[in-house]
């Protein structure tokens, strides 16, 4: 059945443009901007992310990340994006549709991060608002899922503002910052009304 086929081409998705942002597949040329932003934002991001490997910000680790991204795209397992500010092309964060499940599920998980200089300016809201339709239309997903630590109020607000509904609570769901953390579980269906 056509509904359950994966994308016919292994090519990365074209850039996705929103009101103030552009999302595009990461490239090796993004290394310097990515490493600088991640280093500058380390203290801000650490409480909300898995523990960073000691070599995380090195060129060789980034090269390995690019290989993994390419394989994920080829195998229809994940779709990574870097987030750029439209006005000047500055790299400001990243998003991914990961854990893609085809067949009867047609679902994927949304993850995201933003550099500290760009918080509370509406960029991630704009990014999620333009990525969600692409996930439903271009990738033909039926359901998007997301999870966040209950104390991450900014993430809770982002998800609820972009049409995700709280569906549950998972104990010790993900290992974040070196500890198994409880998470709020959110979902959004293709048939849900846009906020």
The string of pLDDT tens digits covering residues 56-96 is 999 999 999 999 999 999 999 999 999 999 999 999 999 99
Look at residue 1 and tell me whether its pLDDT is greater than 50: no
Per residue in 121-170, pLDDT (tens digit) is 999 999 999 999 999 999 999 999 999 999 999 999 999 999 999 999 99
- CB neighbour class for 15 (10 Å; exposed up to 12, middle 13-18, buried from 19): exposed
**Separation between Cα atoms, residue 167 and residue 92, nearest integer Å:** 29
List C-alpha distances in Å: 84 to 20, 29, 101, 117.
9, 14, 27, 13
User: Smallest Cα–Cα separation from 107: which of 70, 135, 147?
Assistant: 135
Q: What is the predicted pLDDT for the residue at 42? A: 97
Residue 156: inside a domain: no
pLDDT computed for residue 5 by the predictor:
35
Q: Is residue 103 part of a domain?
A: yes
Flag whether 134 is in a domain.
yes
Question: Could you give the number of structural domains in the chain?
Answer: 1
Q: Is residue 193 part of a domain?
A: no
Is residue 81 in some structural domain?
A: yes
Which whole-number Å values give the CA distances from 187 to 24, 51, 118, 127, in the listed order? 23, 25, 25, 17
Q: Does residue 153 belong to any structural domain of this protein?
A: no
The residues that bridge with 97 in the sheet, in sequence order, are 79, 110
Q: What is the CATH number of the domain that holds 32?
A: 3.40.630.30
- Asked, for residue 190, whether it belongs to a domain, the answer is no
Is residue 119 situated within a structural domain?
yes
Structural domain harbouring 48: 2-142
Task: Identify the three-state secondary structure at position 36.
Answer: helix
CB-CB contact of 148 with 179 (8 Å): no
Determine the Cα–Cα distance for residues 37 and 35; give it in Å rounded to an integer.
6
pTM of the model: 0.91
């Amino acid at each position: 059945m056509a509904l359950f086929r994966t994308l016919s081409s292994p090519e990365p998705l074209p850039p996705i443009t929103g009101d103030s942002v552009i999302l595009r597949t990461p490239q090796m040329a993004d290394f310097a901007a990515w490493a600088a932003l991640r280093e500058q934002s380390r203290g801000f991001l650490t409480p909300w992310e898995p523990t960073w490997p000691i070599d995380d910000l090195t060129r060789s680790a980034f090269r390995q990340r690019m290989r993994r991204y390419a394989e994920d795209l080829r195998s229809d397992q994940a779709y990574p994006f870097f987030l750029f500010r439209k006005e000047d092309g500055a790299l400001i964060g990243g998003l991914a549709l990961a854990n893609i499940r085809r067949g009867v599920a047609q679902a994927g998980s949304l993850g995201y991060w933003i550099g500290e200089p760009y918080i509370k300016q509406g960029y991630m809201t704009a990014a999620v608002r333009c990525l969600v339709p692409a996930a439903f239309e271009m990738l033909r997903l039926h359901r998007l899922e997301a999870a966040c630590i209950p104390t991450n109020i900014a993430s809770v607000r982002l998800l609820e503002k972009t049409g995700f509904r709280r569906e549950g609570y998972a104990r010790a769901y993900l290992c974040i910052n070196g500890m198994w953390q409880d998470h709020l579980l959110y979902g959004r269906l293709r048939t849900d009304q846009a906020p």
